[in-house]
Structure 1
Amino acid sequence: SQVYKTIAGYKGLVSRVILVDNSSKNNQGLFKDLSYAKYIPLLDNFGIAYALNKGIKESYEKYILTMDQDSSISEELFTEYLKFLNQEKDSTIGAITCQYNTDRNPQKPTPGWKKITLSMQSGTLFKRSTFQKIGYFNENLFLDVVDYEYFLRMNNAGLQLIRINSAVLDHQPATTRMLKMGPIKLKYGVASPVRYYYQARNLFWTARKYNNITLYINLLIKWLKILLLFDDKKKYFQYFSKGIRDAKNKRLGKYNEYRK
């Protein structure tokens, strides 16, 4: 499988792999010949934050790289990270991250680095001391915006997030569709209505908590995408509205379709 190939590619790049399986099946047999990987089956979906935290708590290294199954890492990315870490001794750095190369938004390596506020957790290298200082990922969010919330919390604690522009990660989020309008081609991602519930709820809850304008804009873009690009708009708007409602009422956790 693609997941097996991705994890097999980590050999020699990292000291150890902790593989947290956030599904209802035990897939131990698939990875039994990967001696450097510790496999942890959760036997249910407890959400991305829970799975990440489980892996982090099982590790003991000074630096922890978190990865999604839809990302693949390269030796070049590690080289660029190490180069930066060997030069930079700033104790206020909480994590270093990369550029994301997707089919919707291709990226190439460029020189230098930049202090940023938001990024994805996949492909990000965290210092263990960051978790010790500000805690772990927020498990109540369950799915989307888990990384944004964490980076805003980091920022509030005076810890920097640095993007290494020469480090590029191949990442394939969601399903891509294309809209053609004459010479213009617009690529955009689609996901299930339930994902839009999580995105709306968690973006609104996090934007409110940290008073972050970028997340409010992100929320507006999601709403406009449904309006302008999606089929079955009524269903998507129902889930979206339910997400906003639950955020206002501080009802987080796993989606519950019976909750009014």
Structure 2
Amino acid sequence: MADKSEIVCITVLYNPNSDVVENVKKCNDLVGRIILVDNSNDNNEKMFNGLEGIEYIPLMGNEGIARAINIGIEKSDEKYVLTMDQDSTISEDLINAYLHFLNNSDKQNIAALTPKYDTDRRHAKKGEGTEKVLLSMQSGTLFKRSTFEEIGLFDEDLFLDVVDWEYFLRINKAGLQTLQVNDAILIHRPAITKVANLGFFKLKYGTASPLRYYYQGRNLLYTGKKYNNHKMYVTLAVKWLKIVLLFDNKKEYLKLFKQGIRDAKSGKLGKYEIGNN
């Protein structure tokens, strides 16, 4: 029987604040242990003093989300790996939903379990059963350790965005499955949400820094070509339209977005270095 002691939660930090500490506290009693991998330039270990069952790993610089997660995976040996962003909030219901599936269903050929995501742009309601999905987010997803042993770790060359989509596509290519557990809900608050008034309705959309759009443009095109996946190309077009139609400072966004496209075409990956592009 699977239980919470077999789950390690790997949370990637970046300049954490008090809200992040509260998220970690909420998770602390729900899994066997927590590994915090901090991509910040500073050591923030003192923020988590007093919390038991937590291992803090400072990287003293941003090495990318893929590298941070991989470090956590390599530092652990639990049967199940729950990966988390610092802006996601886990619940006992989510863990129980995962454990119920693991203890009552045929787990053969299943690589990962993923939740439904409740965001301020799109709210989610609990459902029943499970459904196979091709793509999801890594935050809140429960991976079997055997998945990493079979198909490898996250692609560190991508550095930041699309790291999770590339991995889920790799899962599918290997003939494995990702299942969405419909009564598992994760509260997720990605990026910054803005609202555009378009006639009779309001459009909520996410924004991020121009540098993030470099990584999104580059990694979407690279991953789309690697797996011949049309979803990557559609998302790439949507990102470009958002910049053109909704963003201020379009010139800077388009400059870095187009640089990302060029780097994807030439196979130039890794961390973006100012002055080397």
TM-score of Structure 1 vs Structure 2, range by shorter chain? over 0.9
- State the alpha-carbon separation in 2 of the partners of residues 112 and 89 from structure 1: 13
Counterpart position of 2:157? 140
1:85 alignment partner in structure 2: 102
In structure 2, C-alpha distance between the alignment counterparts of 1:181 and 1:134, rounded to whole Å = 45
Deviation, 1:48, is: 0.2
Please state whether the residue corresponding to 2:121 is helix, strand or coil: coil
- What does residue 7 of structure 2 align with? none
**Which residue does the alignment assign to 2:116?**
99
Local SS of the residue matching 1:163:
strand
Matched AA of 1:251: K
Instruction: Provide the residue aligned with 1:43 in structure 2.
Output: 60
Q: CA RMSD in A?
A: 0.8
| SS of the residue 2:86 aligns to | coil
Residue matched to 1:256: 273
TM-score (structure 1 length as normaliser): 0.98
Deviations 1:39-65 (A, max 9, x none): 111111100000000011111110010
Q: Report which stretch shifted further, 198-207 or 107-116.
A: 107-116
Of 186, 203, 208, the residue aligned with 1:191 is: 208
Equivalent residue of 2:223, what SS? Answer: helix
Runs ≥4 residues deviating over 6 A: none
2:134 aligned residue (113, 117, 120)? 117
Question: What amino acid sits opposite 1:130 in the alignment?
Answer: T
Distance (whole Å) between structure 1 residues aligned to residue 28 and residue 237 of structure 2? 42
AA paired with 2:69?
L
Query: How far apart are residue 32 of structure 1 and its match?
Result: 2.0
Aligned residue for 1:217?
234
CA apart distance, 1:259: 2.2
SS of the aligned residue for 1:255 comes to coil
Q: Does 1:131 align with 2:129?
A: no
2:77 corresponds to 1:60: yes
Separation of aligned partners in 2, 1:141 and 1:252: 6
Please tell me the residue identity of whatever aligns with 1:108: K
Indicate the residue corresponding to 2:15 in structure 1.
none
| Aligned partner of residue 96 in structure 1, secondary structure | strand
Q: Deviations over 1:11-69 (max 9, x none)?
A: 22101001111111111111121121011111111000000000111111100100000
Aligned-pair identity (%): 56
SS of 2:27's partner is coil
User: What stretches of structure 1 of length at least 5 have no aligned partner?
Assistant: none
Rounded to whole Å, the distance in 2 between the matches of 1:176 and 1:52 is 26
Alignment partners' CA distance in 2, 1:183 and 1:78: 40
1:171 to 178, 182, 188: 188
Structure 2: gaps (5+ residues): 1-17
**Superimposed CA distance per residue, residues 155-178 of structure 1 (whole angstroms, 9 cap, x where no aligned partner):** 111110000111110000000000
Aligned to 1:74: 91
Aligned counterparts of 2:274 and 2:48: Cα–Cα separation in 1: 35
Distance 1:25 1:234 in 2: 32
Please tell me the residue identity of whatever aligns with 1:22. N
Q: Residue 181 of structure 1 corresponds to which residue in structure 2?
A: 198
- Name the CA distance, whole Å, in 1 between partners of 2:175 and 2:49: 42
Higher alpha-carbon deviation: 158-167 or 85-94: 85-94
Tell me the secondary structure at the aligned position of residue 28 of structure 2.
coil
Match 1:14 to one of 22, 31, 34 = 31
Counterpart of 2:4 in structure 1 is none
Counterpart check, 1:240 vs 2:257: yes
Give the TM-score, by structure 2 length.
Answer: 0.92
Aligned residues: 260
